Each structure stands twice: as structure tokens, then as C-alpha cells.
Structure 1
Amino acid sequence: MNQTPPPEEPEAIDPWPDLAPEHFELLRLAPLPIERSTGQRPLHFARFGRAECNNVRQSLLHLDIRLPGQTAHGEMNRLDVQVDHQRKAIRFGKYPLVVEPQNRGLGRFLLAQGIAWAQRRWASYAVEGGELPPRDASTEESRQRRDHVLHSQGFQIDYEEGQENQVRYGATRVGALDANWNIGRVQIVDTLEAANLLEQAERSLNEQQASILRLEERLGLLRREDGALRFAIICLVVFVVFQAGLLIWIATR
């Protein structure tokens, strides 16, 4: 008797394909020394957004970072943490993380936020690993930077023997990961602190405008005094020339 093969499990469908950030915070990217590969690294402020959805089968955390004037595309500055409650497994987005500006601590920050969220409720869940694409290690410096980020957050990296381009990442469980990041590079600015910074900036701007106005008034006064002084000098020169001419005329008479 022919046995009917068991039906294949349908591919998992993302129930929230268009999830957008709902809650926002302000990030401060500290200024760092100039680096050869990335150039200048000045002070930046960024918007950090998050959104969370849950159902019986799945949970999703969407994280997003945007900088003023930055054109967002694809997966840039984005991390989706996907939780499968049936398999009790968690996947931390798609690797590699595409962050811009580079080497400013954004990759570690996004991973740390996702890890902290997952550890609060599902620390015993397994971590779903995967392969790291070769394009993420186009240079030795970028490879070391990538490995440092993953190691710092508690992920394990395995290089296939004799195959430098075949690299896998993973971890035993969510609780083994590290939810810390380099706060010397990225800080979350409290709302009241942000308001205080704006007020300080406004006061500083007003003080600068008042100082500029005083300087302009002083400059105008000096210009008027300079004009009066020039006129007086011209009159004095004319008078001296007239006196000299008069004396010459008297002497020759």
C-alpha cells in the first residue's frame, strides 16, 4: 500500500510586515577621534524608535535609528528580533547589521537593546544562529570589527577549518548573551535632559544674537566716529594749506 507522504509545513509568514516604530528616544553619538577608514566622527544626535507586537505563536521587536538628513534604505540602522514561541527560539535580525555612520557603536547598541528585551521574558529560549556573509569581511579591519561586536554581545563565531569565508555565529541561549553596550559612544538622552539641552541651546543662541547686535552697534558707532574724524582731518588739512598759502602770499607782497 502506498503511503501518502506527510504534508510539508507551510513557510512561516511574517504577521507584521509593515511594522513601524511607535516609541521614540533621543540618542547622543559622542564625538570620536578621526579614523583612517571612516574619516571624521563628530557629535551626532539620532532618533531611536521601537515597536513591539505579540501573539500566541510569535513576538517581534522592531528597532530603528535615524539621523537628521539621512536617507534610509533597506535594512540600514534596523534590527528585528523575531521570537518563535512554538520552537522557543529567537533570531536577532539579519546579519550583517548595516549601520551608518560606521564604527560609532550603533551595531552593539541595537544588539544590546534587542538582547535586553528578549532576556526579560525568554532568557531560556535558544538563539537561532546562521552564516555570516563574506561581504561583511571585505577587509581584515572590517572582519575584526564585526567579530568584536558579536563577541562583545556574547555570540560565538565559528570559522570552518580551511574555509575562511564560511563563518557561523550563534549562542546557546538568550540568557548567555550580554545586554551591555559602549555607553561612551552611544547614550540615551532622557526627555527632560533633552528639553534642558534645547533650552540651553536657545539661551546660548539668544546670548550670541545679543552679543552680535552689540558688536554691530559698536561697529556702527566706530564707523560714524571714523567718518567724523576723517572729515575733521580733511578740514584741518584744508585750513593748513590755506594758512600756508596765505603766509606765502603775504611774504611775497
Structure 2
Amino acid sequence: MTDAPTQDATAAADEPVVPEAAPLPWADLAPEHFQLLRLAPLPTDRNSGARPLRFVEFGHAERHSKEHSLLRMEIRLPGQKVRKEQNVLDIRVDHDKRLVTIGPDSGLQIEPLNRGIGRFMLAQAVQWAQRKWSHYRLEGGALANKDALNEDTRLRRDHVLRSHGVEVEYADAQHLKGRYVETQVGELKGGWNTDKLQRVEMIEAANMLQQADQKLQEKEAQLRERDERVSKYRREDSGLRFTITCLVAFAVFQAGLLIWIATHR
């Protein structure tokens, strides 16, 4: 009766203890530098819906130590909240292993979709990593299964990765278990679709606001001029109506007078 607990305790003691993973450095790093991005107006997409002109904020920050480097990027949508894991991309560099990894583990989740944001963020990551660490390796990893549930979404994701020099392979015929292959950082490709997304510098944003204000003032002047013309036409219309009323009254009086003269001869 007393042997079972003893055996269980012995077995538990014999099990290997898995050490907890060390916390990643700069886990709470927040973006420090910001830039305005212009999302060009595009035709309505059957999956993502309407794609009007829109402006978003691109934020980033980086840290370096002897062992690690980190580039954290984030897209902020004015007037709209997104989930914590959306619109965030981490590029971590392990200098001891000469290895570059992409985070978060849930994958790059973009909102709004199909506006060029994903390619832009990956292009920034490639350019940043290639400045000093072209001889490092980009670690391969699994792709999120949820992206494979919609064929158009999966094809778009694979096209984006391959356009940056990252090869995608699948372990099944249904294309559900996908992964991106380990690649030399120097073999990656930067660049994004500038027809969809453009950087907006501070002076450009100021000029855009100035031009918008000038156009607004021009529209207000045109509206005032139109209102004045409408008021003038209304005054003229009132005068014409009074004149016509007087003429009608005079005609009726004259007709009555003629009838009276004719009947009293």
C-alpha cells in the first residue's frame, strides 16, 4: 500500500526538468519614430471590400547589444483599434548564432488587408537586416494554418513572401501545413508596391494640408458666390412676380371696364 506513492515520487523525480525559456530582450519596446503612410485609393476587392484613400501611421524602434538586435515595427490606424497581435512585426537578430528570426509567432496579421502594408513592412525588415548582417541566415518557420483556409488569402500570402525572396513549401497536398524555408539574408529582396502605398514626409504632409485648406477656401468662395446669385435670382423673381400680378390685375380691370362700357350704352 505504501509502495505506489513512493514509486510515483521516484518516477516524478526521474523525469527530466525542462528549463523555462529565457525571456526575450526588449519585450516591452514601444515604437519611437513615426511616419505617415498614404494608402492609395483602389478598386473594391471582393474579399477585403472597399479600398478608399487612407492615411496610417508607421512606427518603429530598434535596440542593439552584443548578443542581440531588434527592430520592432507597428502600423497604427487613426480612429480604429486593432488586436494586440495585429499590425506588429519583430525582426530579431541572434549574433552568436548569426540567425535572424521573424515574430510574432502568430504571424504577420495586417489590417486593413490588401493595401500593400505587409509588403512594405517586410521590405523595411529586409533593408534593415541587410545593412550589417547579409551573411546571417533567416530562420525558417511554420505558416499560420488559418491563412490557408481561404485560397485567395493563401496565394496572396505566398506571393508576398516569394516576392521578397522567401520560398514557401507544403507538407500536404491540401496546402494546409506550410512553412517558409531558411534563407540567406543577403538573398532576400526589398521593395514594395509604391502604387498602393507611399511614404509621406512631414513637409509633404504640410503641403497637402495647405493645399486642402486652399481648396476648401476656394469651395467656400464658390458657395458664397452661388448663394449670392441665388439670392439675386430670388429677388428678380419676386419683382417679376409682382409685375406679373400687377399686369394681370390691370388686364382684369380693363376687361371689366370694357364689359361695363359695352353693357351700358
Give the one of 47, 52, 77 matched to 1:67: 77
- Give TM-score scaled by structure 1 length: 0.91
2:164 to 127, 148, 153: 153
Query: Residue 96 of structure 1 contacts residue 136 of structure 1 at CA under 8 Å; is this kept in 2?
Result: no
Give, in whole Å, the separation in 2 of the partners of 1:217 and 1:162.
71
Q: 1:154–1:171: 8 Å Cα contact kept in structure 2?
A: no
Is the contact made by 2:140 and 2:183 (CA closer than 8 Å) also made in structure 1? Answer: no
Matched, 1:56 2:54: no
**1:185 and 1:72 mapped to 2: Cα distance?**
21
1:106 aligns with 2:117: yes
CA shift at 1:18, angstroms?
2.4
| 2:107 is aligned with 1:96 | yes
Which residue of 28, 37, 52 corresponds with 2:47? Answer: 37
1:187 counterpart residue number: 198
- Given candidates 230, 239, 243, the residue that maps to 1:232 is 243
Q: Could you tell me how far 1:191 is from its partner in structure 2?
A: 2.0
Deviation of 1:20 after TM superposition, in Å, equals 1.8
- SS of the residue corresponding to residue 25 of structure 1 reads strand
Question: Residues 187, 97 of structure 1: CA spacing in aligned structure 2 closer, same or farther, 3 A cutoff?
Answer: same
Aligned residue pairs, count: 249
Distance 1:18 1:223 in 2: 67
Distance 1:118 1:8 in 2: 32
Q: What are structure 2's unaligned runs of at least 5 residues?
A: 1-15
Displacement of 1:66: 2.1
Given candidates 197, 202, 205, the residue that maps to 2:213 is 202
CA distance in 1, matches of 2:31, 2:68: 18
CA distance in 2, matches of 1:215, 1:93: 57
User: Which structure has the larger Rg over C-alpha atoms?
Assistant: 2
Cα deviation digits, residues 113-137 of structure 1 (max 9, x gap)? 1111111121112112211121011
CA contact (8 A) 2:148 2:175 kept: no
**Post-superposition shift, 1:23?**
1.1
- 1:9 Cα deviation (Å)? 6.0
- Tell me which residue corresponds to 2:8: none
DSSP 3-state at the match of 2:140:
strand
Work out whether residues 123 and 190 of structure 2, in 8 Å CA contact, stay in contact via their aligned partners in 1.
yes
Higher alpha-carbon deviation: 233-242 or 60-69: 60-69
Q: CA deviation at 1:163?
A: 6.6
Q: Which has the higher strand share?
A: 1
Q: Does 1:170 align with 2:181?
A: yes
- 1:87 aligned counterpart, secondary structure: coil
- Between the aligned partners of 1:224 and 1:161, the Cα distance in structure 2 is 80
Rounded to whole Å, the distance in 1 between the matches of 2:85 and 2:123 is 17
Contact conserved, 1:137 with 1:146, CA < 8 A, in 2?
Answer: no
Instruction: Please say which of residues 199-208 and 188-197 is displaced more in the overlay.
Output: 188-197
From the superposition, tell whether residues 15 and 155 of structure 1 become closer, same or farther in structure 2 (CA, over 3 Å): same
Query: Aligned to 2:26, which of 1, 11, 16?
Result: 16
Percent identical pairs in the alignment equals 52
Say which is worse superposed, 162-171 or 25-34, in terms of deviation: 162-171
Worse-superposed segment, 62-71 or 136-145: 62-71
Q: Distance in 1 between matches of 2:173 and 2:144?
A: 16
Report the Cα offset of residue 203 of structure 1.
0.7
Answer whether contact 2:126 2:190 (CA < 8 A) is retained: yes
